[in-house]
Amino acid sequence: MAETGHFPAPSRDLCGTMVLHRALLNESMTYRAQRAQIENRALQYETARISPERRGVATIPVVVHVVHNPEIPEQNIGDEQIHSQIAVLNRDFRAKNPDVSKVPPVWRSLVADSMVEFRIATVDPFGEPTDGIVRVETHRRKFEICASPGCPASERDQVKSSAAGGADAWPSDRYLNIWVCQLGSTPGGGTLLGYAQFPGGPPQTDGVVITHSCFGTTGTAQAPFDGGRTATHEIGHWLDLFHIWGDDDGACSNDDKVADTPNQANANVGKPGFPHVSCRNGPNGDMFMNYMDYVDDDAMFMFTQGQRERMNACLEGARASLLVGGRVAPEVKPEMEVAAVGGALSGGNGDMQRLLQDLQESEKRTKELLDSLHDALGLVAGRGGR
């Protein structure tokens, strides 16, 4: 499913992911080609032409870059706040969050355990021990996403570059990079809580960015975004989920490419009452309690089965290297590292054979991704790049 044409910026955002996505689509043929292939793969999973190979929980290593100005001490958030965020992610992505019980009965059968967990990295890219937290001082008081028309690409994503006052990414094929800083306003002048880069973008900027007052559940986290759900939302994008309303500014003409989430007119904010009907989606209306809407942190509490399939397509496609990388990270004994991806390890020969088969399959999918990238580069060489 190719994405073509011009991609205008949305009129308002709490999340800057789509404005960054549109900027990349407008500028980069490579990104367009990558996105087309990723969408085709997601469609194959949605239509069951490809079944997920993964049978256990995938554990993704995380590095948190805390980029802070020494003149504003609250930007240098504490370790406890960081670990509180990881705990939220592991509850939300496994559907173990207590508030999942608030999902309206009509949608409870759709609640999905994505079988994804997150672990602060214990080994850095050079094989040295680490606590998975990188603290970098900056002269900047805040960072802008700078992805709107007229903003030079050289000023975009400066929090992800040490040369621009930020912190360089760790290898994005092995780690989920999370940058925590003070973010400025959205391109439309609103509040920017965070943003992510969809799979298929430049590796040096791959990851998510969260403003420190919306990160975790303690420290500087402020209501109504003190439940850690901004990171859940942005990592949903990083795993290829779109906003549940389809980002068409109320036109009801676009959706999130997931069949079991009702189409809705626009983002919901605050704490909507159930049902909230739009786009003729009655009687149940909008699934505003989905993590991919804009409601307050304590009003969102579910991913769906269809969203899980889309995340599976991503993890076994564009982000398959993370699963392979997770198996060989040196901080855990090799046999235990395989267990981190494949699920519980009993130590029997049958289990090991199954896990080795998983490894071979992930390596196969990584090769497919590299072949796809090679094809995309060939496309660029033939037609011109950015």
d(CA 47, CA 44): 5
Query: What tokens appear for 219 in the block?
Result: 């420290």
Q: Alpha helices of 72-206 — where are they, by DSSP H? A: 79-92
Q: Is 144 a catalytic residue?
A: no
* Residue pair 221/42 in contact by the 8 Å Cβ criterion: no
β-pair type (194-196, 208-211): antiparallel
Question: For 15, what's the count of Cα atoms within 13 Å in the CB-facing half-sphere?
Answer: 32
d(CA 328, CA 121): 13
Q: Strand, helix or coil at 101?
A: helix
Q: Among 234, 309, 316, 337, which one carries the catalytic annotation?
A: 234
d(CA 37, CA 223): 39
* Residue pair 137/69 in contact by the 8 Å Cβ criterion: yes
Question: How wide is the angle at C-alpha 72 spanned by C-alphas 71 and 75, nearest 5°?
Answer: 135
Burial class (CB in 10 A: 0-12, 13-18, 19+), 6: exposed
Q: Strand, helix or coil at 344?
A: coil
* Residue pair 64/86 in contact by the 8 Å Cβ criterion: no
* Closest to 3 measured CA to CA, from 11, 24, 19: 24
Amino acid, res. 339:
A
* Closest to 77 measured CA to CA, from 210, 235, 232: 210
Residues noted as catalytic: 234
